[in-house]
């Protein structure tokens, strides 16, 4: 059953998407509620899985994994079993930051974070070339992040 959210819930969601570390009191000031009312709303949003966690916005260029790569894969077929098997296979590698099943010319878009092109090549040999679910794929290495 879908959970009903109102304009204040939407504003709370917008605020925590911009800064998940905001306190209930800081959010309360902006949405014109008490901190306890914000806390109750947040708990309801979490309980109903509208909020599924908080993440840090890491400057990846400053880490040991500075290279973002998008891998667009066409699967061997569009059966539920193939999609399920590929999804399971992509859950394990730490290089896979995001995985999306999409419409269009390809079936899957993976966002990978790797140290360099050699590490990407190693990922491809371990997980993509050996995968019976992948018919073909394309690679797009990110030169510069324009917006996040």
The gap from C-alpha 142 to its chain's centroid, in whole angstroms, comes to: 16
The continuous run of DSSP H or E covering 53 comes out as none
Give residue 2's pLDDT band: very low, low, confident or very high (50, 70, 90).
Answer: confident
Per CATH, domain 60-141 is 1.10.490.10: no
- pTM of the entire predicted model: 0.74
The percent of residues in the chain predicted with pLDDT above 90, rounded, is: 84
Fold of 7-47: Arc Repressor Mutant, subunit A (1.10.10)
Angle CA(142)–CA(99)–CA(118) in degrees, nearest 5?
45
pLDDT, one tens digit per residue, over 138-148 is 999 999 888 87
Tokens at 93, concatenated: 């590698």
Q: Which residues of 50-67 are buried (b: 16+ CB within 10 A; e: fewer)?
A: ebeeeeeeeebeeeebeb
Q: Which pLDDT value is given to residue 64?
A: 77
């Amino acid at each position: 059953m879908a959970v009903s959210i109102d304009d204040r819930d939407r504003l709370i969601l917008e605020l925590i998407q911009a800064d998940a570390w905001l306190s209930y009191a800081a959010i309360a000031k902006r949405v014109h509620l008490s901190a306890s009312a914000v806390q109750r709303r947040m708990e309801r949003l979490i309980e109903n899985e509208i909020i599924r966690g908080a993440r840090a916005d890491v400057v990846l260029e400053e880490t040991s994994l500075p290279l973002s790569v998008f891998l667009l894969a066409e699967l061997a077929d569009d059966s539920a079993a193939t999609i399920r098997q590929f999804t399971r296979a992509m859950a394990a590698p730490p290089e896979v930051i995001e995985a999306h099943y999409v419409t269009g010319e390809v079936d899957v878009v993976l966002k990978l974070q790797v140290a360099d092109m050699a590490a990407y090549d190693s990922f491809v040999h371990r997980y993509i070339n050996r995968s019976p679910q992948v018919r073909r794929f394309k690679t797009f290495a990110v030169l510069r992040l324009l917006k996040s």
